[in-house]
Every structure is written in structure tokens, then in C-alpha cells.
């Protein structure tokens, strides 16, 4: 439910740049989206919460105290802790995603970089790097390191920073690249 969201920003998230992410899964269906405040000016978050709670109780025919569930406070229900842990895992949330390709490109003071990833079951199956940098060796080495890597920001950043051992003279560039990649795949 959208109460008073910036719909222009929402459109950016729902319509990603085609060159950035080409999913091989199911295409989304366009639907009309609106804010509740457009339909009922003055409505508040508290009123929405109260209305949902009231409708829930009316539907199920009884009133109970709300229970807050968090990683620190799980209910004592059969298999709840195991199910919660499984559904909170990286494998559950990302490892079962459909195969996709991701193109990242950025211009740095030291050159342009284009990264092409093919990702299956959360792992990079193919990585290609294109650059007009005067020193492409670290980036060429990065492409090899990323094959088989988990497609997670922290893992990609770790692989970039591991190159500092072999390419200490490019520390500034590699740290800049590492920060950019980590932010681009979040």
C-alpha cells in the first residue's frame, strides 16, 4: 500500500534501465499505481494500520493482541525458527533467482569501465570487462576472479580488493572500482 510515495521515483525502480539489467525471468505486467492520499486526502499511516487491523479481526471473527516478530524474538511455533532462518538466507532470497545478465558501466578519471555479468543461481557464470584505461591488467585479472563468485556486493568488493596484492600501484583505482561495484549491485 502506498500512502504518500513519490511516484516519479517509483517509476524509476519499476522500469530499470534496459542496458543495466536484462532479466530472463517473467516480464512484469503494468498496472496503475496511486497513493491513498490521492483517493482520501488527509489519511494517515495510523488510520491505515487501524483499518487493516479492524478488517483482519472482522474477517477472522476474533480479536487478539498483535505479536511483534523479529530475528531476536520469534514465536514458539513448530518449525518457525527453521523456516525463518531458511527464508532469511542468501540462498533462499538470491540463489533461486532466475538467470539474468547485468551490465554496469562507469566513467572514472582514469578511464571508462564496462562490466558484463551472466548470473545463474546467484553465481557469476561469465564476467567480461571492457576498459579504455591505460593500465587494463588489473581489470582483466578481475574478470577471471569474478567467474564463479557469488553475486553479492561484499563478495565482488572482496575480489576487487584482493587485486591490491598483485597491483599495488593501482590502489587508488582499485579502491574506487571496488566502492563503485559494491554500490552498483546492492
Question: pLDDT digits over 128-148, tens only?
Answer: 999 999 999 999 999 999 999
- Residues spanned by the domain of 170: 100-184
- pLDDT of 37: 92
Q: Express each pLDDT in 50-103 by its tens digit.
A: 999 999 999 999 888 888 888 788 888 889 888 888 888 877 877 777 888 889
Other Cβ atoms less than 10 A from the Cβ of 119: the count is 22
Q: What are phi and psi of 79, to 5 degrees?
A: 65, 5
Up-side HSE of residue 7: CA atoms within 13 Å toward CB?
12
Residue 24: inside a domain: no
Domain boundary among 48, 67, 93: 93
* CATH number (domain holding residue 122): 3.30.390.50
The structural domain count of the chain equals: 2
Q: Are residues 39 and 59 in the same domain?
A: yes
pTM across the whole model: 0.56
Q: Cα separation of 142 and 151, whole Å?
A: 14
Is residue 23 domain-resident? no
Q: How many CB atoms lie within 10 A of CB 161?
A: 16
Residue 40 in domain: yes
C-alpha cell at 177: 572500482
115 in the same domain as 85 = no
Amino acid at each position: 500500500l502506498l500512502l504518500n510515495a513519490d511516484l516519479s521515483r517509483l517509476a524509476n525502480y519499476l522500469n530499470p534501465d534496459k542496458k543495466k539489467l536484462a532479466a530472463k525471468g517473467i516480464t512484469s505486467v503494468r498496472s496503475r499505481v496511486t497513493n491513498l492520499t490521492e483517493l482520501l486526502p488527509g489519511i494517515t499511516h495510523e488510520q491505515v494500520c487501524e483499518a487493516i487491523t479492524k478488517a483482519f479481526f472482522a474477517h477472522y471473527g476474533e480479536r487478539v493482541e498483535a505479536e511483534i516478530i523479529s530475528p531476536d524474538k520469534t514465536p514458539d511455533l513448530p518449525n518457525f525458527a527453521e523456516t525463518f532462518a531458511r527464508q532469511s538466507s542468501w540462498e533462499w532470497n538470491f540463489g533461486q533467482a532466475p538467470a539474468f545478465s547485468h551490465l554496469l558501466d562507469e566513467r572514472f578519471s582514469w578511464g571508462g569501465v564496462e562490466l558484463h555479468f551472466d548470473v545463474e543461481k546467484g553465481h557469476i557464470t561469465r564476467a567480461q570487462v571492457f576498459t579504455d584505461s591505460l593500465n587494463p591488467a588489473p581489470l582483466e585479472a578481475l574478470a577471471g576472479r569474478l567467474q564463479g563468485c557469488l553475486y553479492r556486493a561484499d563478495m565482488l568488493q572482496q575480489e576487487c580488493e584482493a587485486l591490491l596484492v598483485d597491483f599495488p600501484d593501482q590502489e587508488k583505482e582499485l579502491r574506487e572500482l571496488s566502492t563503485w561495484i559494491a554500490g552498483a549491485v546492492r
